[in-house]
Structure 1
Amino acid sequence: MSSVRPKKHLGQHFLKDLSIAERIAKALTGHGEYNSVLEVGPGTGVLTQFLLKEAYETWVVDIDKESIAYLQENFKALEGRIIDGDFLKYDFLKDTGAPLAIIGNFPYNISSQIFFRILELRNEVPEVVCMIQKEVADRIAEPPGSKTYGILSVLLQAYYDIEYLFTVKPGVFNPPPKVNSGVIRLKRNNVERLDCDEKLFKQVVKAGFQMRRKTLRNALKPINLPEALADDPILNLRAETLSVKQFVDLTNKISACR
């Protein structure tokens, strides 16, 4: 097989620029902390080849049968480390082991789902380097107070230190997307678990941003705020202004009153 056709229903935009692929691979900082890397959606292996050059134990996962066949034929160094499966559903850690970094040109249409999956595996995933839609990359890396700061910003920043690395123009892809892309790096912080009920924390964050234009007093009504908190000044704020610590504190206040 000499090529792989990008498939619109899989959200595929294959990177063509080798210098950008190399730059993404070199953004990983892991030798010593980890040596295994899983690439999500490798396509034709443009990024994969540089991961192999960096001497990582490189694994790839893809649901595109054409891509799987291409990699099996053209990347003999990946023998036994090509996973034919859905990253969102497949228990790849049983194959790869941990710790394991995640890297890739994530399909735009499922990038948020990929991050929620990474959050589930946060204690096994010390680092993530990825290229996603610039708007989403900005949102994830944004500090509190920004209009783009949202649910993923808070949940990911709770467990990872996040850095926006660089912007990638549409012309270096086949086919070109209609928007710019952004490359970000997530490095696991020292928070093993939040100092609050983590399930409630997630509910508070999601509820707060689902009606982000409203104050928390109104946005959090669906989770039945305790009456004892009615006069707390934090409820006069909007979710986009709260840091991770403030969300943790608010979660503890709700827990204490229930």
Structure 2
Amino acid sequence: MSLVKAKKHLGQHFLTDKNIAGKIVQALSKTDQYNQVLEVGPGMGILSDHLLADNNLDVHLIDIDAESYDYLKNKYPQLGEKLILGDFLALNFKEKFAEQFSIIGNFPYNISSQILFKILENRNQVIQMVGMFQKEVAERCASPSGSKDYGILSVLLQAYYDIEYLFTVKPGTFNPPPKVNSGVIRLTRNNVKELDCDEKLFWRVVKAGFNQRRKTLRNALSGTIPKDKMDTHNYFDKRAEQLTVAQFIEFTQHIEQLAKA
């Protein structure tokens, strides 16, 4: 089989270090109840080799690159329909997976946020994600309140997942090497089925607050909440980065009450 050529427009950087690939797969927590795992963007299968070596896993692969798909079809003929040629962002999880499942991958950096929001939208099916992102994105996901890296993704992901920054990967372990370091994180679904507030309003408040993160929430939310509806609650005079996830939930509850007044 001829090797797959990395394509710049797909953001492909193929991991070449088998030891790091093994560490990424080992970070996947396995349970008897949920053994389905979907690898996104497998490329030439450096993670897939480790996944398929575990007979307890029900492995599915999805790649948007037809050249990678053909390569993997020859390499893993046993996968059959579990090897998918398609766009992960367009995949209907409910049609493809009857139960909860895990996601793993060395993700294209140019669609990192879209991938994470796709996982968030399907949070009741995706019980775990182990993935490699640009280091700054990985750090942002795991950042606590008060940090300069703390933002929209931090709050929304941490509302539904426990997040761990696992390790950093240097550019030299890829072909072609990216211009930045990479970071591997693990998301594990927490026990929150639904937030204790209006979830759509929570998302709107978080996004509006961080879209103008230098402003106080009183000013940042002026397009979301009429100023005559705001009161003297002290969260209005804080910036978004100062509120924890729990405080954002509490603040959303307060805004709900103001709207009813």
Question: Deviation at 1:237?
Answer: 0.6
Question: Deviation at 1:35?
Answer: 0.4
Equivalent position SS for 2:90: coil
Q: Partners in 2 of 1:182 and 1:146 — Cα distance? A: 18
Structure 1 stretch 164-173 or stretch 48-57: which is displaced more?
48-57
Question: Deviation at 1:94?
Answer: 2.0
**2:64–2:85 Cα contact (<8 Å) kept:** yes
Question: Deviation at 1:38?
Answer: 0.2
2:80 maps to 79
Equivalent position SS for 1:111: helix
1:196 aligns with 2:186: no
Seq. identity, %: 59
Q: Deviations along 1:187-232, whole A, 9 cap, x unmatched?
A: 0000000000000000000000000011111111110245343321
Matching of residues 11-90 of structure 1 within 5 Å: 11-55=11-55, 56-90=57-91
1:104 maps to 105
- Cα 1:33/1:239, change in 2 over 3 Å: farther
Unaligned runs of 5+ in 1: none
Q: Partners in 2 of 1:179 and 1:115 — Cα distance? A: 19
Amino acid at match of 2:237: N
Equivalent position SS for 1:126: strand
Question: Deviation at 1:17?
Answer: 0.3
Q: Partners in 2 of 1:70 and 1:190 — Cα distance? A: 39
**1:226–1:257 Cα contact (<8 Å) kept:** no
Equivalent position SS for 1:182: strand
Q: Partners in 2 of 1:257 and 1:113 — Cα distance? A: 33
1:172 maps to 173
Question: Deviation at 1:40?
Answer: 0.5
Q: Deviations along 1:131-165, whole A, 9 cap, x unmatched?
A: 00000000000110000100000000000000000
Q: Partners in 1 of 2:96 and 2:144 — Cα distance? A: 36
Question: Deviation at 1:76?
Answer: 2.1
Q: Deviations along 1:103-156, whole A, 9 cap, x unmatched?
A: 000100001100100011100111000000000000000110000100000000
TM-score between both structures, scaled by the size of structure 2: 0.96
Equivalent position SS for 1:155: helix
**2:138–2:184 Cα contact (<8 Å) kept:** yes
Q: Partners in 2 of 1:99 and 1:157 — Cα distance? A: 19
Q: Partners in 2 of 1:77 and 1:133 — Cα distance? A: 32
Q: Give 4+ residue runs of structure 1 displaced > 6 Å after superposition.
A: none
Question: Deviation at 1:61?
Answer: 0.7
Equivalent position SS for 2:185: strand
Q: Partners in 2 of 1:64 and 1:92 — Cα distance? A: 20
Structure 1 stretch 130-139 or stretch 49-58: which is displaced more?
49-58
Structure 1 stretch 50-59 or stretch 114-123: which is displaced more?
50-59
Question: Deviation at 1:92?
Answer: 4.1
1:248 aligns with 2:214: no
- Cα 1:181/1:18, change in 2 over 3 Å: same
Question: Deviation at 1:95?
Answer: 2.6
Structure 1 stretch 5-14 or stretch 28-37: which is displaced more?
28-37
TM-score between both structures, scaled by the size of structure 1: 0.97
- The number of residue pairs the alignment matches comes to 258
2:136 maps to 135
Unaligned runs of 5+ in 2: none
Q: Deviations along 1:62-97, whole A, 9 cap, x unmatched?
A: 110000000001112322201111111121442333
Q: Partners in 2 of 1:106 and 1:256 — Cα distance? A: 41
Matching of residues 208-219 of structure 1 within 5 Å: 208-219=209-220
Q: Partners in 1 of 2:226 and 2:15 — Cα distance? A: 47
Superposed CA RMSD in Å reads 1.1
**1:225–1:254 Cα contact (<8 Å) kept:** no
1:124 maps to 125
Equivalent position SS for 1:230: coil
Q: Partners in 1 of 2:219 and 2:141 — Cα distance? A: 25
Equivalent position SS for 1:127: strand
